Amino acid sequence: MYKTVKEKLQKTGELMVKVSDGQTFELHLHNVKFHDDKELIEIDAGTETYWINGNEVVYMWIHRVKE
């Protein structure tokens, strides 16, 4: 799933993910780093940094604005 998340974020620029423990995260190209060697996703949330195992992502989606 790590590779899928990385590819989708690079295409869309923004992505919501849910990991196996139920937490959700909003990913943006400008605040996410991918560590291919360990398949970790690093999220810089300003005051906190989150590390998630890219293979623990169980669901992902993109925000859609209704017009």
Please tell me the pTM assigned to this model: 0.85
- Residue 67 has what pLDDT? 56
User: The CATH number of 2-61 is which of 3.40.50.170, 3.40.50.920, 2.40.40.20, 2.30.30.100?
Assistant: 2.30.30.100
- Residue 47 has what pLDDT? 92
User: For residues 67 and 28, is the Cβ–Cβ distance under 8 A?
Assistant: no
Domain coordinates of the chain in residue numbers?
Answer: 2-61
| Distance separating alpha carbons of residues 37 and 27, to the nearest angstrom | 20
Closest by Cα among 34, 30, 25 to 7: 34
User: pLDDT for 19-64, tens place per residue?
Assistant: 999 999 999 999 999 999 999 999 998 899 999 999 999 999 997 6
- Residue 52 has what pLDDT? 95
